[in-house]
């Protein structure tokens, strides 16, 4: 069973629109960590945020915000007033404490295209 699901394969918006990227995860661990990474065309995975399972506070960083809801096993990511530079593939990932190496389990990613 897929542990991290990003149901949106591709999203296209026009600059200045708000956009939300969905992430649903599955785990039996009580302690786990959730991440978002951005992958621009260059290929490097750029870390955006890390959240542990005990911290359900939403977080805002500039135009980025994250909504973590354990009740629905979701960790959604919103970009406010999107810009062309936001165009990239965004990955949600899960790290389980009981998984060897706490290696990340990634979703399939959502490709965001922002046009001017």
Partner 1 sequence: DTGVSQDPRHKITKRGQNVTFRCDPISEHNRLYWYRQTLGQGPEFLTYFQNEAQLEKSRLLSDRFSAERPKGSFSTLEIQRTEQGDSAMYLCASTYQTGLAGNTIYFGEGSWLTVV
Query: CB-based burial of residue 75 (10 Å sphere; 0-12 exposed, 13-18 middle, 19+ buried)?
Result: buried
Interacting residues of 96 by C-beta distance below 8 A, sequence separation 6+: 27, 29, 31, 32, 33, 102, 105
Q: Which residue's structure tokens are 């965001």?
A: 112
Q: How far is the CB of 16 from partner 1 (least distance, A)?
A: 28
CA-CA distance, 88 to 33, in Å (whole number)? 23
Picking from 13, 27, 36, 105, the residue whose alpha carbon sits closest to that of residue 73 is 27
Using CB under 8 A as the binding criterion, the count of chain residues that bind partner 1 stands at 30
Q: Smallest distance from the beta carbon of 64 to partner 1, in angstroms?
A: 16
Report the nearest approach of partner 1 to the CB of residue 63 (Å): 21
How many CB atoms lie under 10 A from the CB of residue 76? 18
Residues of this chain, 95-114, that bind partner 1 according to CB under 8 A? 95-98, 100-109
Q: Which of residues 34-73 bind partner 1 (CB under 8 A)?
A: 35, 37, 42-47, 50, 52
10/18 with CB nearer partner 1: 10
Instruction: Kindly tell me which residue out of 19, 23, 93, 112 binds partner 1, with binding defined by CB under 8 A.
Output: 93
Binding residues vs partner 1 (CB under 8 A)? 4, 31-33, 35, 37, 42-47, 50, 52, 91, 93, 95-98, 100-109
């Amino acid at each position: 069973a897929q542990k991290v699901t990003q149901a949106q394969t591709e999203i296209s918006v026009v600059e200045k629109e708000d956009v939300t990227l969905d992430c649903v995860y599955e785990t039996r661990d009580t302690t786990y960590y959730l991440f978002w990474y951005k992958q621009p065309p260059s290929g490097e995975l750029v870390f955006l945020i890390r959240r542990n399972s005990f911290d359900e506070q939403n977080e805002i960083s500039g135009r980025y915000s994250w909504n973590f809801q354990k009740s629905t096993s979701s960790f959604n990511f919103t970009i406010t007033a999107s810009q062309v530079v936001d165009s990239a593939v965004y990955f949600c990932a899960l790290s389980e404490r009981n998984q060897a190496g706490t290696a990340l389990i990634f979703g399939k990613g959502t490709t965001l295209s922002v046009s001017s």
